[in-house]
Amino acid sequence: MKRPDPVRLEICHHLLAAMCEEAGLLLQQSAVSPNIRERRDFSVAAFDRKGRLVAQAAHIPVHLGSAGDAIAAARSAIAFEPGDVAVLNDPYEGGTHLPDVTMVVPVFAPGRREPDWFLSGRAHHADIGGATPGSMGVARDLYGEGLVIPPVLLRRRGEPQRDVLRMLLSNVRGSKERQLDFAAQESSLRRLSARLLALQADWGRGELMRYAEHLMDYAEREGRAALRQLATGSFHACDALEDDGMGNGPFAIDLRLTYSKGRLDFDFTRSGPMAVGGVNCNRSVVLAACVYALRCLCPSRLPTNEGLFRLFTARTKLGTVVDPIKPAPVAGGNVETSQRLVDVCLAAIEKAMPGRIPACSAGTMSNLSMGGTSAAGVGFAFYETLPGGAGAGPTRDARSATQTHMTNTRNTPVEESELRYPVLVRALTVRRGSGGKGKRRGGDGIEKQVEALVPASVTFLGERHQSGPPGAAGGGSGARGALSIVVGAGKGRPTRALPSKGTWALAAGDLVVVRTPGGGGHGRA
At residue 117 the predicted structure's pLDDT band, cuts being 50, 70 and 90, is very high
Residues 279-288: pLDDT tens digits? Answer: 999 999 999 9
DSSP 490: S
Q: Is the pLDDT of residue 74 over 70?
A: yes
Least confident of 54-68, 88-102, 441-455: 54-68
Would residue 278 count as lying in a domain? no
**Distances from the Cα of 160 to the Cα of 106, 118, 192, angstroms:** 16, 19, 19
Q: Is the pLDDT of residue 90 over 90?
A: yes
Would residue 342 count as lying in a domain? no
Whether 484 and 355 have beta carbons less than 8 Å apart is answered as no
Sheet (strand 263-267) strand order:
233-241, 251-260, 263-267, 312-315
Give the separation between CA 149 and CA 44, rounded to whole angstroms: 19
Q: Helix (H, G, I), strand (E, B), or coil: what is residue 101?
A: strand
Give the total number of structural domains in the chain: 2
Give the separation between CA 510 and CA 470, rounded to whole angstroms: 33
Give the separation between CA 105 and CA 83, rounded to whole angstroms: 8
Percentage of the chain modeled with pLDDT above 70: 99
- Structure confidence at residue 525 (pLDDT): 87
The amino acid that residue 477 corresponds to is S
Give the separation between CA 518 and CA 524, rounded to whole angstroms: 17
What domain range includes position 107? 6-219
Would residue 241 count as lying in a domain? no
Would residue 55 count as lying in a domain? yes
Quick one: the chain helix, strand, coil %, rounded to 5?
A: 30, 25, 45
Would residue 154 count as lying in a domain? yes
- Structure confidence at residue 491 (pLDDT): 66
Q: Is the pLDDT of residue 489 over 70?
A: no
Residues 165-197: pLDDT tens digits? Answer: 999 999 999 999 999 999 999 999 999 999 999
Q: Are strands 251-260 and 233-241 parallel, antiparallel or unpaired?
A: antiparallel
Q: Which of 119, 60, 122, 69 is nearest to 91 (CA)?
A: 69
**Distances from the Cα of 405 to the Cα of 7, 322, 388, angstroms:** 31, 18, 11
Give the separation between CA 225 and CA 298, rounded to whole angstroms: 9
Mean pLDDT, rounded, of the chain: 96
Would residue 387 count as lying in a domain? yes
CB count within 10 Å of CB 18 equals 13
Percentage of the chain modeled with pLDDT above 90: 95
Would residue 272 count as lying in a domain? no
Q: Is the pLDDT of residue 490 over 90?
A: no
Would residue 493 count as lying in a domain? yes
- Structure confidence at residue 60 (pLDDT): 84
The full DSSP string for 509-522 is T-EEEEEPPPPPPB
Of 158, 187, 219, the position where a domain reaches its end is 219
Of 219, 245, 263, the position where a domain reaches its end is 219
Of 219, 241, 259, the position where a domain reaches its end is 219
**Distances from the Cα of 16 to the Cα of 70, 278, 494, angstroms:** 20, 36, 55
